[in-house]
Amino acid sequence: MKDTYKSITEASEEVLFKDRNSKFFGYAFPIKSEDEVKAIIEDLKKKHHQARHWCYAWQLGKEEQDHQFRANDDGEPSNSAGMPIYGQIQSFEVTNILIVVVRYFGGVKLGVGGLINAYRTAAQLALEESNILKRTIDDLYILQFDYPEMNVVMRIIKEHNLNVIDQQLALDCKIFISVRKKESEAIFEKFSNVYKVEIKQLEH
């Protein structure tokens, strides 16, 4: 069971690819939702207000079956910009990412083949400039129990090196934990078998 994914930690440095006087500036950004895309594109349009095209592709979702993506040619010939950019996202196996390539037209037409190569290369350079990290896919749980059960619960948390995200410790206690997906079932079972401890999975 694959329970890891790759993403970037911060926006990449600006990269530049040139072909016959056309300039292609490439950028990679970490994103958590589609809502962030518009603002990033707007910022780049202000920065590069004399450019011709702001082409991009993004992908969201930690697991393959949950992947959502979009590719946008922004006025370039169909599939000559957005899809070559998306191809690099797939090639580097990254997700929760937006890649934008800004083009300044240099007076010479590059043809569809030339455009595909230029957008693909600018996206590749942006990814090579990025800090790509592998992360685990985790499930979130809430543990609910009375204070006397604290020792048992903490012992299991320590034994399995579980990540405590938040805790509310009073007479009735709540502890929020994240568990790596492939260990999830075993941990759920373990807590379910503890008398007087309730475990529930939470939506992300």
Q: How many residues does the chain have?
A: 204
Question: Among all chains, which residue has been given the structure tokens 């899809």?
Answer: 83
| Closest C-alpha among 41, 45, 46 to residue 57 | 41
pTM over 0.85? The answer is: no
Q: Are 67 and 138 in contact (CB under 8 A)?
A: no
Structural domains of the chain, ranges and CATH numbers in brackets: 4-135 (3.30.230.30), 137-202 (3.30.70.260)
**Dmax of the chain from CA atoms?**
76
- Count the helix, strand and coil residues of the chain and give each as a percent rounded to the nearest 5: 35, 35, 30
Instruction: List b or e across 68-82, with b for residues whose CB sees 16 or more CB atoms inside 10 angstroms.
Output: eeebbbbebeeebbb
User: CA of 93: how far to CAs of 55, 57, 109, 137, in Å?
Assistant: 20, 14, 31, 15
Q: Are 11 and 30 in contact (CB under 8 A)?
A: yes
Per-residue pLDDT of the chain (204 residues; tens, 9 = 90+): 678 999 999 999 999 999 999 999 999 999 999 999 999 999 999 999 999 999 999 999 988 888 999 999 999 999 999 999 999 999 999 999 999 999 999 999 999 999 999 999 999 999 999 999 999 999 999 999 999 999 999 999 999 999 999 999 888 999 999 999 999 999 999 999 988 999 999 986
